[in-house]
Chains A and B, each alone.
Chain A
Amino acid sequence: MKLETKEQGIQPLIKAPEKKDQIILIVDDSAMNRALLADMIGPGYKVVEAENGLEGIAAMQKLGSNISVVLLDINMPEMDGFDVLAVMNSKNWINDIPVIMVTAETSPSYIERAYDLGVVDFINRPFDAKVVQRRVNNTIMLFAKQKALVGLVADQVYEREKANSLMISILSHIVEFRNGESGLHVLHVSTMTEILLNQVAKKTDRYKLTTSDISRIAMASSLHDIGKISIPDAVLNKPGRLTEDEFELMKTHTSVGAAMLADVPVKQDDPLVRTAYEICRWHHERYDGGGYPDGLKGDDIPISAQAVSLADVYDALTSKRVYKDAYTHEQAMEMILNGECGTFNPFLLECFVEIADDIHEQLTLNSLGAEADMEIAHMVDEAMTPGEAEASSRTLELLDYERMKYQFFASMSNELQYEYTEDPPMVVLSDWAEKKLGVPEVIKDPFEDRTLAELFGEDNIQRLRAALHDTTPEEPVVQLEFEATIDDEPRWLQVTAHANWSSDEVPRYLGSIGKMVDIHEHHEKMADLQRRATHDSLTGLLNHAYARKLVQERMKLNPEKSFVFIVVDMDKFKDVNDTYGHLFGDRVLFHMAQRLEGSVRGNDIVARVGGDEFFICMECSVDPDPLIVRVYETVIGEYDGIDVSVSMGVATAHGDECAYDDLFRSADHALYEVKNADRGGFKFADKILSEDEALSALSQIDGEKEEDIAAAHASRS
């Protein structure tokens, strides 16, 4: 394979930007000022105008770093120039979008403050065409160069990183090939070390591990066995047990590896070299001091070497070797935790146990066996192919791409997306919100805003705010449903929002992002289903099951109160159905339900038991007789040409006196006694009947009524 170095000339990478690609944003409240500036900048550029700070922010939100330069006035309504700069700082735009301040102010305090906020240049009044052109052109050129340079540096760092890890990977594989090891051992140790240390860093700051420390340790872990280069083949690959001498020789791979690194001619103080040294030398030390070569004890052994040591043991156990078969993940775990494979830092073992599943999964994923060599070959090929790795201005392009993607999806989806910051207090809404709801894209002080309050309801906004403040950095997501007013119609919305917390020791609430979805239809359907589950569809009264539940709750809550149960049954309803048809029958039932509801107080319970049988429950502390008479007299009478007559059974008891079912059964029984005595009128139950008593009482009822009763019971069950 021929190695080619990629040529990277400076001149083609930095070229003067094309005018037509340049967007210039002019933020000024005076139309004449904007016109003058636009005229002076000259044709060719694309000029976007904003009348005040808010519009300016909205334009930046939309166009991002596609804006080449912003010309910003100071004195403006809504949001002034300094506020705009503050927002640009808080959103980190100020580094990507250069700002030239346009001002008649010459006081040093103004100018100093503007520079502090990241302004790159000034255009003073009165405007001078040559100055305006020069300042704008210079700024655009300067930033274009800067962007190109950032891209260049990023590319080189990227290339360098890639080359680094490739070299390490090749180097460590040389050891493995000689070793006859799995070929994936190095990869496994590196992966597991990284997972393990991430867990350690998550649980404690005792070892002061940063993300870059961990990735450096993981990278250096690949070199842990380089000392084995010096071990003779006969010892290294001996299938049987090593003799004492051979083992002593084997042990030297630690100090030899370390010595090799200590002899590296350059970069002795490079963190990677130092980390690799620690790992090589001490990855066979034991936490109790019983390891080699130096017999270090406890945390005298660097955490890097401790983690690699554990990873090394685990992977050796779960891999096949010349002298042993592979153990399963569970067996290996058990052996390590039982101390069969050396003593480890108990805290490290604790971390290991917590993320064992993750490790198992990751290492299984990486176990490609023979394909590993191919993978290396592939990596080499890829790294050597020019073009592909062209990461030019990668980050910047990716950012712009992400912005575009985000905006596209946000405008496609029928949902309102928002972003809120506490400082400055400002909410930015997605396109959709602007189009569908007619609210501006950027709203300052949203909690004071009338439009938002009218749209979403002040209470709802405050409720969402409180819920977000109540979240934690670990669980930052809240979901709420509320009723908004859209186009003067009430609509149910569901909002899902994510609170932003600072990473300080005591996290600060920074703001939130979220989306709102219109769930009105869904909500209506749910409400309807719920209603159907608790109500009778024909009459709109409660159904018996739900009424029973409500009454039971009331009886339990008010044990000392007296409850009156009334069971109402229409007389000869079967004849009505037979004579006039079921449709008419249904109308009679509906009418009956209306009358029953009208005959009782608002909080009494009225339900349809089934068929033509109804149930009323009232709480009553006085003599219930007048109430019952009123019910009876309201219900009977003429309806649409037919005479409605009813029979009613009544039973009363205190809330704690007997069970619902017994009381209901007793009222029901009294009803059938009325029916039995030629129908019409009402009767109190003589006593509260138990289930058995009711059954035997039933059998005593006259034979001629039996059919009627059985039919009524059937309709109820």
Chain B
Amino acid sequence: MSLGACYAQIGGDLEGVRSRLMTDERIEKFIGIFAEDPSFGNLRTALDEGDLKEAFRAAHTMKGISRDMGFTSLSDIAAELADVLRPDEEGVPAGPLERVPSLFEQLEEAYTRTVDAFSMI
């Protein structure tokens, strides 16, 4: 499957990525690195263990790297989750924490869809 088809399948922003990362070669290289990135796993573990500070950091990283790669929907969900988990000066998350399970579910769905789509390349 071509890069264009993959991005189309997940509703990603290929044009934006091309203008920022300059070459398709570099885009493909970093899609590979993205698939190996431990942030998603870290996020899951942190949520399982109730470590909200670490969960925020992982969500925040997810948001950043998926945005870099033009994975718009994934990045948007990660951003929403990061905002809910974002600690204030006392380290208390912004909340509401009731939203975390459903946001994580959406994130997992988008993440899996993204990684699956690109595993074809």
Contact = CB atoms under 8 A, between A and B. Distances in A.
A85 B82 CA distance: 24
B26 A127 contact: no
B33 A77 contact: no
A40 B26 CA distance: 9
A128 interface: yes
A40 B68 CA distance: 12
A389 B33 CA distance: 54
Contact of B67 (A40, A76, A77, A104): A104
Contact of A129 (B20, B39, B57): B20
Interface residues of A, number: 19
Interface in A1-47: 29-33, 35-36, 39-40
Given A31-B37, A32-B34, A35-B33, A104 B20 contact: no
Contact of A125 (B26, B29, B56, B68): B68
B120 interface: no
A73 to B, nearest CB: 9
A127 B20 contact: yes
Contacts of B61: 29-30, 32-33, 75
B30 A36 contact: yes
A602 interface: no
B5 interface: no
Contact of A33 (B29, B54, B65): B65
Given A129-B21, A129-B22, A104 B33 contact: no
A189 to B, nearest CB: 62
A126 B63 CA distance: 10
Contacts of A31: 33, 37-38
Contacts of A40: 21
B39 A126 contact: no
A232 B9 CA distance: 105
A104 B60 contact: yes
- Among B22, B56, B64, residue most surrounded by chain A Cβ atoms (within 10 Å): B64
A126 B71 CA distance: 11
A32 B65 contact: yes
Contacts of A77: 54, 57
Contacts of B29: 39
A32 B20 contact: no
A125 B19 CA distance: 14
Nearest to A30: B61
Contact of A127 (B34, B57, B60, B68): B68
B64 A125 contact: yes
A128 B37 contact: no
Contacts of B30: 32, 35-36, 39
A36 B54 CA distance: 22
Nearest to A80: B57
A104 B57 contact: no
B20 A39 contact: no
B57 A75 contact: yes
A32 B37 CA distance: 7
A406 B39 CA distance: 40
Contacts of B63: 104
B21 to A, nearest CB: 6
A33 B57 contact: no
A119 to B, nearest CB: 18
B93 to A, nearest CB: 14
Interface in B1-48: 16, 19-22, 26, 29-30, 33-34, 37-39
A635 to B, nearest CB: 69
Interface in A595-639: none
B33 A30 contact: no
Nearest to A133: B22
Contacts of A130: 20, 22
A285 to B, nearest CB: 64
Nearest to A35: B33
A77 B51 CA distance: 13
A129 B23 CA distance: 10
Contacts of A104: 60, 63-64, 67
A36 B68 contact: yes
A75 B21 CA distance: 23
A210 B22 CA distance: 59
A384 to B, nearest CB: 57
Contacts of B21: 40, 127, 129
Given A75-B57, A75-B60, A104-B60, A128 B34 contact: no
Interface string A124-139: 0111111000000000
B35 to A, nearest CB: 10
Contact of A30 (B39, B54, B67): B39
Nearest to A74: B60
Contact of B20 (A75, A76, A126): A126
B20 A30 contact: no
Contacts of A75: 56-57, 60-61
Contacts of A30: 37, 39, 61, 64-65
Given A29-B57, A126-B16, A130-B20, 16 more contacts: A30-B65, A32-B33, A32-B34, A32-B65, A33-B64, A36-B30, A75-B57, A77-B54, A125-B64, A125-B67, A125-B68, A126-B64, A126-B67, A127-B68, A129-B20, A129-B22
22 contacts: A32-B37, A32-B39, A32-B61, A32-B68, A35-B33, A36-B33, A36-B65, A36-B68, A39-B29, A39-B30, A40-B21, A75-B60, A75-B61, A76-B57, A77-B54, A77-B57, A104-B63, A125-B64, A125-B67, A126-B64, A129-B26, A130-B22
Interface of B: 16, 19-22, 26, 29-30, 33-34, 37-39, 54, 56-57, 60-61, 63-65, 67-68, 70
